[in-house]
Amino acid sequence: MIRAPILEDSVLKKTTQRNEIVDALTLQDLCRFCQAEESWVIELVGHGVLEPVGSSVEHWRFRGMSIVRAKKACRLNRDLGINTAGVAMVLDLLDERDAALRRLARYEMLSSGEVDQ
């Protein structure tokens, strides 16, 4: 994890680089981005892990959450050897866990003033 320090003003003026938010990727773009095979991405779509817009494979566009999920799915497969069905379940459970953790954080904050008698 990189924690970026605040930049000095003197360095700022030299920044003329191209950068952009990654969005609306084609199947080929997504495969390059995730370093994955097309057949694996198509399988992920088949399991409902990724939901591209567009009627046919050639017209697929992967946006927002689908890009994040694709990258996670590829890492989980590469690093832990989890197959498509397993990845689909892990990602769903992670979403549920994160939602539960957010709710828990809220309740912990509300009850932080507890006093024993």
Q: Does 7 bind another protein (CB under 8 A)?
A: yes
The stretch near another protein (CB under 8 A) out of 12-20, 36-44, 46-54 is: 12-20
Q: Does 106 bind another protein (CB under 8 A)?
A: yes
Q: Does 59 bind another protein (CB under 8 A)?
A: no
Contact 49, 87 (CB under 8 A): yes
> Burial level of 44, CB count in 10 A (0-12/13-18/19+)?
buried
Residue from 10, 110, 116, 117 in contact with another protein (CB under 8 A): 110
The stretch near another protein (CB under 8 A) out of 39-47, 49-57, 77-85 is: 77-85
Contact 60, 20 (CB under 8 A): no
Q: Does 44 bind another protein (CB under 8 A)?
A: no
Phi, psi of 40 (to 5 degrees): -70, -40
